Structure 1
Amino acid sequence: MITRMLQSGILNPHILQLIARIRHTNTLVIADWAFPFWPQIETVDISLTHGIPTVLDVLDLLTPVFKIGRIWQAEEFLASNREDCVDRFAKSFGDLPLTREPHVDFKKRVPHAIGLIRTGDPTPYGNIILESA
């Protein structure tokens, strides 16, 4: 028998294990470098340095293998970022349903997630919550 290691897509075994456990309507948080630690949910920390990787790096790798039903983001994201940044997020979100809500309400959703992936992203309010379809 010939076995081959993964050679493309998501290679991190901890992220692969985490997303394999997510079922219909479960949620996954992709967070920036400064997002608070939530001891009650599994966290996979892939932050290397300031800006590497970004929330969108992770989202763009997840999109082909993870059926996303909707996305949540803090409404403060729009007022805190330049238009080019907002456009980059919109491009990655595509046609997926997006709900923006006050940051305090966004954070109330976090403890219900199956897990959290922490990135090195410095984008203000760039955190997102994905709900599986």
Structure 2
Amino acid sequence: MKKTPLLNIALSRVIASLGHGDILMIVDAGMPVPSGVELIDLAVTHGIPDFVGVLNTVLAEMQVESHVLADEMRDRQPPALAVLDQLNAAGSLGSQRLLSHEALKQLSRSARAIVRTGECQPYTNIALVAGVVF
């Protein structure tokens, strides 16, 4: 059995297959998933699993070079934003780029995979850009 916290087979496979610059998105329950982009749907019901729990588990497995958030997340201030700010300050998320929500949806077309959570706070979405460990 794996020693790291991530148990989901599909998510573990995708993270293991990421190359430098590839994008993995973690999104709320309402974010549309473009046709042709792999969806790893973890959503069970409202709030389960939550965005922060999924993000923390992914960060235990994935080397992140940078991340992208929607400007609207800064405007709306969902609860997860405080955690994102802490992770960003600690250097866990690399550099930050802000786009409009519409531009983030456009960026999602180039994601290797999108992980849907049960999060129901609007604009609680992040695009993680894979880095390298060397």
Q: TM-score, with normalisation over the residues of structure 1?
A: 0.88
Alpha-carbon distance in 1 for matches of 2:9, 2:21: 23
- Tell me, yes or no, if structure 1 residue 107 matches structure 2 residue 105: yes
In angstroms, what is the RMSD of aligned CA positions? 1.5
Tell me by how many angstroms 1:81 deviates.
2.1
1:62 is matched with which residue?
Answer: 58
How many Å apart are 1:54 and its aligned residue? Answer: 1.9
1:42 counterpart = 2:46: no
Alignment partners' CA distance in 2, 1:7 and 1:39: 34
Q: Distance in 1 between matches of 2:55 and 2:32?
A: 20
CA distance in 1, matches of 2:76, 2:4: 34
2:12 to 4, 9, 16: 16
Identity of aligned residues (%): 25
Separation of aligned partners in 2, 1:120 and 1:36? 13
- Runs of 5+ in structure 1 lacking a partner? none
Amino acid at match of 2:73: F
Once the two structures are TM-superposed, the CA of residue 80 in structure 1 deviates from its matched residue by: 1.1
Tell me the TM-score normalized by structure 2.
Answer: 0.87
In the TM superposition, what is the alpha-carbon distance from 1:39 to its structure 2 partner? 1.9
- The alignment covers a number of residue pairs equal to 128
Residue 89 (str. 1) matches residue 84 (str. 2) = yes
The aligned counterpart of 1:27 is: 23
| CA 1:88–1:23: 2 relative to 1, 3 Å | same
> Unaligned regions of 5+ residues in structure 2, if any?
none
The alpha-carbon deviation at position 32 of structure 1 amounts to: 0.5
Find the structure with the greater CA-based Rg: 1
The separation in 2 between residues aligned to 1:23 and 1:15, in whole angstroms, is 15
